Amino acid sequence: MIMDKEVLPEVLMNSVLGKLYDVLTNGDDVVPKSDDNYLAWLPVGMPFPKEELEFLSTGFTGIYREHEPQRRRVRQGEQPSPEPREKTAEEINQLLAQDVTRRYMQAENLSRLCDMIPDTSGVKGKVTMNKWEQENSLSLAYQHILKFSQVANFEPDEKTKKKIERLRGLLQEKKIKKNLVTEEEEEVLEETALVKKYNEKLQNYLNIALEYNNHRVNALAGKDPAAVHFWAMNASILRSKVMAAKNDWITNGYKEEYDQIAAYIAQVEGRSMLTLKQQYLDDFDKARLTGPSSGSDFFYTSLLPGGFAETDNGWTEFSFGKSDFASNYKFDSKKGGGGGSLSLGALSIGGRGSREKRKTSKKIDVSTFKLRFKICQVPISRPWFKINFLTSKYWRFDQNNTEFKDNMVSDGASPPEGMIPAFTTTAIFVKDLHLHFGERNTRIKAEMDKAGGGGSISWGPFHAGGHYETHKQQRNMQSQSESQGIKIKGMQLIGFKCHVLKKSPDPKANISEWV
C-alpha cells in the first residue's frame, strides 16, 4: 500500500492522537490496560507556566524574595543610581500578604479547572476518546448528592466507629489556616504524609509505565527499525523499571496499607453509612476555601506530586514521524448516535484566543514531518470527594424530595448520562513541543510563523504559539522559529484521563429502613 505523502492537518493530527491514546491507555501483562481509558482532549492546549503551580510544593505561606539591586553601566558624566533602601517590616508584611493572595488565586484557578464535569456524549461502545466540554461543576453535584440522599440505617458498634475514625486519620489530617477574607482561623482537611507518598509513588509508576508503553507501541508498529531494535535489546530493562517502580510504590508508597484502609471502609459502609455520610459532609465543608479576589467559595484540589513541573523527573519523550503515520493510528470518534465526526485535528491560525481563527487548507508532506515533546500524567487529588459513597449500594435519593427522587448520578448507559457521568482523575501535561516540517513544508511553516507574532496557533489539543485567551485569563506562549521547524517553549495542559461511573445510585432491594 502506497502512503499518501500530502495530507490535511486534521488527518495527520488524527494519527498523532491515535498513537498518543495507545501510549496512555493500552497495556499488556507488564503494564495492564488503564481502567481510566476515557480521554478528554482540550480543544486548545492551555499554557501553564510552572509558577502557576507554586502553591502545590510550597503551600500558602507567603515568601518574600529580596532581589539583588539592578546595576547598570554608568556612562561618563552620569551619577550612579543610589542603592535601594531596606524595606520596613510593614512593607515586607504587605509583600508577604500579596504573595499569599497570589497562591490562593493559583489554588482557586486549579480547583475550578478540575471541578468541571467532562462531556460524555461522544463516549459510546468502543469509543474512548472525546473532546473536553465543561458541563456542571463536580463540587455542586456532589454537594446536592450528600444533601438530598438517604442512607441505610445500620448503626455500627463503638469499636467499629473508633476503628473507622482511626483509619480515616491515616488518610486525612486537620489543619488550621487563616481565611484572608474574614481573617478568621478555619479548620481545613489535607492529605496525610501517607496519602502524599502513595500518590507520589503512583505518579512515578504511571510515568515509567508510560515510557514502557511508548517504546512497546513504537516497536509493535514495525515501521521504524531503530524502534524495533531498541525494544528487542531493552524490553527486559524497561520491564524491570516498571516492576521496580511498582515495588517502590508497594514498599515506600504504602500501596497495600492504603488499599487495605479503603477496602475496610468500603466493607463496613453498609453498617455505618449514617456515620460515614456525616463524616463526608464534614470533610466537604472543611475543604471549602474562599478566593481572596473572587470572594467565591472553591474546594481545595491538588496535583500530586506537587513539584512535578519543577524538574524533568517523571516526564517521557514522545515522538511521531512518517513511520508512525504509516502505521495507521486513528482516533475516529462519533458524537452519540448521530454519527457526526468529532473534529479535533484542524490547524487553526490567526485571530486572538479561540475567536476569529481560520482553518488552514494547506496540506502537510508527511515524509519530512516530525513531532516531539515531553509528556507527564499527574493524578488529581480531591480530599473532599468520596467515590466510595457514590458507588455504594447503601444510599439513594430522598424519595420525599420531588426534585431529586428520580435523579441519577450516572445511568450507566453508553454513553452515560446523569449528574456525574464521569470525572477527571489525571491531568495530562506536555512541554517543549517541537514541530519539524522539513524542506517540503515551507508554505505551511511560513504561514504559522506569520500568525505566531500577534495572533495564535492551535493544532488539535496543542497550543502551538502566540496568544491564548479565555473569558478569565490571557497568556502568551513563546515560540521559536527554526530553519525547518518551530519550537514552542513551556508547559501546557492538553487533556484529562476520566473515569466513567457505573450506575449510581443502585441501592440494594432488601433495605427496609432509610434515613
| Residue the block writes with cell 499518501 | 4
Helix (H) or strand (E) holding 316: strand 316-320
In a domain, 491, yes or no: yes
Say what the pLDDT of residue 186 is: 72
Q: Which helix (H) or strand (E) holds 169?
A: helix 158-171
Q: Is residue 510 part of a domain?
A: no
Q: Which has the higher per-residue pLDDT, 121 or 79?
A: 121
Residue 451 lies in a domain: yes
Report the chain's terminal Cα–Cα distance, integer Å: 66
CA–CA distance, 220 with 231 (Å, rounded to integer): 9
Burial (0-12, 13-18, 19+ Cβ within 10 Å), 126? exposed
**Lowest mean pLDDT, pick from 15-19, 71-75, 328-332:** 71-75
Residue matched to cell numbers 448516535: 337
| Maximum average pLDDT range among 216-220, 235-239, 328-332 | 235-239
Q: Which residues lie closer than 8 Å to 231 by C-beta, 6 or more apart?
A: 215, 216, 218, 219
Percent with pLDDT over 90 in the chain: 28
User: 474 is written with which cell numbers?
Assistant: 490571557
Partner residues linked to 486 by β-bridges = 435, 481
- Does 115 map to a domain? yes
Q: Give the residue from 400, 147, 372, 150 showing the smallest Cα distance to 281.
A: 147
Nearest residue to 318 via CA among 197, 428, 452, 153: 428
Q: Assess if residue 83 is contained within a domain.
A: no
Q: Which amino acid is at 58?
A: T
For residue 400, the enclosing domain spans 6-64+90-500
Peptide bond into 292 cis (omega under 30): no
**Can you tell me which residue has the cell 504561514?**
447
In a domain, 309, yes or no: yes
**pLDDT at residue 471 in the model:** 47
Which residues, 6+ apart, have CB-to-CB distance to 70 below 8 Å?
Answer: none
Distance of CA 247 to the CA centre of its chain: 25
> If you write DSSP's letter for every residue of 438-502 in order, what string do you get?
-GGGHHHHHHHHHHHHHSEEEETTEEEEEEEE-SS-EEEE-EEE-SSEEEEEEEEEEEEEEEE--
Strand partners, 397: 149
pLDDT in tens, 348-374: 887 554 445 678 888 999 999 999 999
Determine how many CB atoms are found less than 10 A away from the CB of residue 400: 9
Residue 33, all three cell numbers: 490496560
Query: What was the pLDDT predicted at 342?
Result: 45
Q: What is the pLDDT of residues 502-515, one digit of tens each?
A: 999 999 998 888 98
Burial class from Cβ neighbours inside 10 Å (0-12, 13-18, 19+) for residue 461 reads: buried
Give me the pLDDT at residue 476, please.
63
Domain presence at residue 292 = yes
Selected residue with higher pLDDT from 392 and 30: 392
pLDDT exceeds cutoff 60 at 437:
yes
pLDDT digits (tens, 9 = 90+) for 386-430: 998 999 999 999 999 999 999 999 999 888 899 999 999 999 999
Largest CA distance in the chain: 94
Residue 441 lies in a domain: yes
Q: State the pLDDT at residue 336.
A: 33
CA geometry: angle at 43 spanning 470 and 497, to 5°? 110
The total number of structural domains in the chain stands at: 1
Q: Residue 47 region, left (φ>0) first, then alpha (ψ -120 to 50), else beta?
A: beta
The three-class DSSP label of residue 357 is: coil
